[in-house]
Amino acid sequence: MNDKIRVGLIGYGYASKTFHAPLIMGTPGLELAAVSSSDETKVKADWPAVSVVSEPRHLFNDPHIDLIVIPTPNDTHFPLAKAALEAGKHVVVDKPFTVTLSQARELDALARSTGRVLSVFHNRRWDSDF
């Protein structure tokens, strides 16, 4: 039995490489299980044991993924978060959460109706000097 929260990370650009992947791998109780990326070589150079898939939908369809992290371009946050929630995943989205208030409200309602956790990523939220 795996007691860790298995995380699927969408994309492997600056935010994923610099913040998300290292924070996930360095946090007890979390496991970076898979990354959706068009550049498998870049992911494997840093995390050789992590699975790489070509499309985010593969993360959504994976029954072993518990949480999806979305550090993608702003206009993709809403559709990706919605698809992840509809697939039964918990979701963390980079700032800005969505590009419209109506999108934010829709995601909030969807998360509540499915019993999933939906959160905005704050990389320095608990730092004492921030």
pTM for the complete prediction?
0.93
- Spell out the CATH class of 7-120: alpha beta
- Residue 82 is a catalytic residue: no
DSSP-derived secondary structure for 6-49: EEEEE--SHHIIIIIHHHHHTSTTEEEEEEE-S-HHHHHHH-TT
Give the tens place of pLDDT for each residue, 58-86: 999 999 999 999 999 999 999 999 999 99
How high is the pLDDT of residue 96? Answer: 92
* Token pair listed for 27: 């946090």
How high is the pLDDT of residue 122? Answer: 80
Low pLDDT (below 50) residues in the chain = 1
Burial class (CB in 10 A: 0-12, 13-18, 19+), 121: middle
Domain edges within the chain: 7-120
Catalytic residue among 4, 44, 89, 95: 95
Percent of the chain with pLDDT strictly greater than 70 = 92
